[in-house]
Chain A
Amino acid sequence: MSKAPKKKEPLTIEQKITRRTLLSLGTLVALDVIGFGIWKVLRKESYKDGVQKTLRKGLDVNEKIFGNTFSKGRKAKEYSVSEAAKNVRVNGHVGLDDATDNWILKVVRPQGASLSISLDQLKALPKTEVIFDFKCIEGWSQVSHWGGVRFSDFVKAFDLTAESAMNYVGLQTPDKQYYVGIDMPSAMQEQTILAYEVNGAPLPQEHGHPLRLIIPVKYGIKHLKRIGTISFSNDKPADYWAERGYDYFSGL
Chain B
Amino acid sequence: MKRIVPKHHLAIRWFHWVNFPMLTIMIWSGLLIYWAHDVYHISIGKTTVFKFFPKGLYQSLGIPHHLAEGMAYHFLFMWAFILNGILYVAYTLVSGEWRHLWPERTSFREAWQVVLYDLHLRKEQPSFDKYNAAQRIAYTAIIFMGMGSVITGFAIYKPVQLNWLCALCGGYEAARLEHFILVIGYCLFFLVHIFQVIKTGWNNFRGMVAGFEVVNDPDPLPTTTNETYEQSA
Contact = CB atoms under 8 A, between A and B. Distances in A.
A6 interface: no
Contacts of A33: none
Contacts of B214: 17
Interface string A1-33: 000000000000110110011011100100100
B210 A20 contact: yes
B18 to A, nearest CB: 9
Contacts of A74: 160-161, 163
Contacts of A204: none
Given A13-B3, A20-B210, A141-B173, A66 B158 contact: yes
Nearest to B202: A21
B98 interface: no
A41 B71 CA distance: 19
B89 to A, nearest CB: 22
Contacts of A24: 206, 209-211
Interface string A51-81: 1101110110010001001110011110000
Interface in B158-192: 158-161, 163, 166-167, 172-173, 176
Contacts of B37: 136, 138-140
Contact of B76 (A55, A244, A245): A55
Contacts of B176: 139
Contact of A75 (B2, B67, B160, B209): B160
Interface residues of A, number: 46
Nearest to A70: B161
A79 B39 CA distance: 24
Interface residues of B, number: 35
Contact of A251 (B3, B34, B73, B158): B158
B61 to A, nearest CB: 14
A37 interface: no
| Majority secondary structure of chain B interface residues (helix, strand, loop or mixed) | helix
A247 B72 contact: yes
Contacts of A183: none
A115 interface: no
A58 B210 contact: no
A215 B199 CA distance: 55
A217 to B, nearest CB: 5
B21 interface: yes
A51 B209 contact: no
B75 A251 contact: no
Interface in B3-37: 3-4, 17, 21, 33-34, 36-37
A59 B79 CA distance: 12
A13 B69 CA distance: 51
A190 interface: no
B206 A51 contact: no
Given A20-B4, A141-B173, 7 more contacts: A21-B210, A51-B72, A59-B75, A66-B158, A70-B161, A245-B72, A251-B158
11 contacts: A24-B209, A51-B68, A51-B72, A52-B72, A76-B159, A77-B163, A138-B36, A140-B39, A217-B160, A247-B75, A252-B159
Interface of B: 1-4, 17, 21, 33-34, 36-37, 39, 67-69, 71-73, 75-76, 158-161, 163, 166-167, 172-173, 176, 206, 209-212, 214
